[in-house]
Amino acid sequence: MKVKLTKIFLSTWMFSTAAFAQANLKDANFKVGLIYPKTGPLAVYADTQAKAVKLGLEEFRQDHPELAVQIAVVVADDKSLASEGLKAAERLIETQKINMLIGSFSNTVNQALLDIAGKNNLPLLLTRTSSEDLIANKQVFAMVPTHRWYGRMLGFYAVQSLKKKRAAIIFHPDDAISLEMNEGFKEAFVKSGGFIVGTWAADQKDLWNDIKMTEPDSYFVPAAFGKREPLLDLILTSETDILSSTRFFRKAGKGALYRAQSFTPQDPHKGVKDFVALYEKRYGQKPDELAAASYETIRIILQAYFLSLSVKDQPMLDTIQSKDLGGIYGIGRFTKDRNFMRPIPITREVKGVEEFKGRIQPE
* Count of residues in the chain: 363
Q: Is 361:345 a contact under the CB 8 Å cutoff?
A: no
What string of pLDDT tens digits covers the 363 residues of the chain?
A: 333 333 333 333 333 333 333 335 666 778 889 999 999 999 988 889 989 998 987 887 677 665 546 777 889 999 999 999 999 999 999 999 998 999 999 999 999 999 999 999 899 999 988 888 888 888 899 998 888 889 999 999 999 999 999 999 998 888 888 899 999 999 999 999 999 999 999 888 899 999 999 999 999 998 665 667 788 888 888 999 999 986 666 666 788 999 998 899 999 999 999 999 999 999 999 999 999 999 999 988 877 777 776 666 566 677 777 778 888 988 888 888 888 888 889 999 998 898 999 998 766
Q: What are the domain boundaries of the chain?
A: 17-145+268-343, 147-261
Q: Is 338:332 a contact under the CB 8 Å cutoff?
A: no
Question: What are the angstrom distances between the C-alpha of 18 and each of 25, 168, 279?
Answer: 11, 54, 27
Architecture of domain 17-145+268-343: 3-Layer(aba) Sandwich (3.40)
Q: What is the structure's pLDDT at 281?
A: 95
N-term to C-term CA, the chain: 31
Q: What is the pTM of this model?
A: 0.85
Question: What letter represents residue 49's amino acid?
Answer: Q
**14 CB-near residues (< 8 Å, 6+ apart):** 20, 75
Where on the phi/psi map is residue 40: left (φ > 0), alpha (ψ -120 to 50), or beta? left
Q: What is the structure's pLDDT at 71?
A: 75
Q: Is 180:230 a contact under the CB 8 Å cutoff?
A: no
Q: Is 244:230 a contact under the CB 8 Å cutoff?
A: no
* CA pair distance 145, 340, nearest whole angstrom: 7
Q: What is the phi/psi pair of residue 199, to 5°?
A: -130, 130
* CA pair distance 158, 144, nearest whole angstrom: 20
Q: What is the structure's pLDDT at 66?
A: 53
Q: What is the structure's pLDDT at 13?
A: 36
**356 CB-near residues (< 8 Å, 6+ apart):** 264, 266, 267, 268, 345, 346, 347
Q: 147-261 in CATH: which number?
A: 3.40.50.2300
* CA pair distance 99, 108, nearest whole angstrom: 22
Of 143, 86, 144, 82, the closest CA to residue 120 belongs to 86
Are 17-145+268-343 and 147-261 in the same CATH fold?
A: yes
* CA pair distance 327, 116, nearest whole angstrom: 28
* CA pair distance 363, 337, nearest whole angstrom: 13
Q: What is the structure's pLDDT at 360?
A: 87
SS (H, E, C) the chain: CCCCCCCCCECCCCCCHHHCCHHHHHHCCEEEEEEECCCCCCHHHHHHHHHHHHHHHHHHHHHCCCCCCCEEEEEEECCCCHHHHHHHHHHHHHHHCCCEEECCCCHHHHHHHHHHHHHCCCCEEECCCCCCCCCCCCCEEECCCCHHHHHHHHHHHHHHCCCCCEEEEEECCCCHHHHHHHHHHHHHHHHCCCEEEEEEECCCHHHHHHHHHCCCCEEECCCCCCCCCHHHHHHCCCCCEEEEECCCCCCCCCCCEEEECCCCCCCCCHHHHHHHHHHHHHHCCCCCHHHHHHHHHHHHHHHHHHHHHCCCCCCHHHHHHHCCEEECCEEEEECCCCEEECCEEEEEEECCEEEEEEEECCC
